[in-house]
Amino acid sequence: MTLTVFWIFGVIAMGSGLLCITRKNPIASALWLVVTLFALAALFVLLDAQFIAVLQVLVYAGAIMVLFLFVIMLLNLGRPGPTDIKGPLGLLGATVLAGALLLLLRPLGEAPLPAGIQLPPGTVATLQQQRGMVGSVATPLFDTYLVPFEIASVLLLAAIVGAVVLAKRKL
């Protein structure tokens, strides 16, 4: 049952991803990407990552994609440009390269995980039971990964300042 649902959402994600890259209108592309992100959020829920799924909806689909749409509309690009998609030669090249990539990535999904690094089955589930959905992510975040976490905040600050500097006409 779970597997079926999983595949349904997976197919939605892949299909809307394909539509995203093939639509001529950037707004259409962006909206299809939003669909992909929602589908991915559903996949996250199925993979026991409810907190991440919520973040996915809030941050990605909510904030980042709105930013994209906002810029598209700000620049008045809401219609297909004449040279937006490469010609037949580009299409051929992209298909060949993408196909080759997929071919190369395929064995990764089937390779078994090394036994040494695997946790005993149910460890993650137990952890989530004990600490709750948020707590099980928050504990390592504020413990093992505290320094990267702080650095990430500095990065975001730098990004904010950088964006303001770049986007403003005159300081």
Kindly identify the residues of this chain, within the stretch 93-122, that bind another protein according to CB under 8 A.
93-95, 97-98, 100-102, 104-110, 113, 117-119, 121
Q: Is 123 in the site for another protein (CB under 8 A)?
A: yes
Please work out, in degrees rounded to the nearest 5, the angle formed at the alpha carbon of residue 163 by the alpha carbons of 162 and 166: 85
By CB under 8 A, the count of residues binding another protein is 91
Q: Is 54 in the site for another protein (CB under 8 A)?
A: no
156 CB burial (10 A radius; 0-12, 13-18, 19+): exposed
Alpha helices in 111-170 (DSSP H): 123-142, 146-167
Q: Is 62 in the site for another protein (CB under 8 A)?
A: no
For another protein, the binding residue among 78, 79, 132, 145 (CB under 8 A) is: 145
Binding residues among 3-22 for another protein as defined by CB under 8 A: 3, 6-7, 10, 13-14, 17-18, 20-22
Q: How far apart are CA 55 and CA 51, in angstroms?
A: 6
Q: How far apart are CA 64 and CA 21, in angstroms?
A: 18
Binding residues among 70-89 for another protein as defined by CB under 8 A: 71-72, 74-75, 77, 81, 83-86
Q: Is 146 in the site for another protein (CB under 8 A)?
A: no
Q: Is 134 in the site for another protein (CB under 8 A)?
A: no
The pair of structure tokens assigned to 96 is 């060949």
Least distance between another protein and beta carbon 137 (Å): 5
Q: Is 42 in the site for another protein (CB under 8 A)?
A: no
Q: Is 35 in the site for another protein (CB under 8 A)?
A: no
Residue for token pair 């994209």: 68
Q: How far apart are CA 92 and CA 100, in angstroms?
A: 12
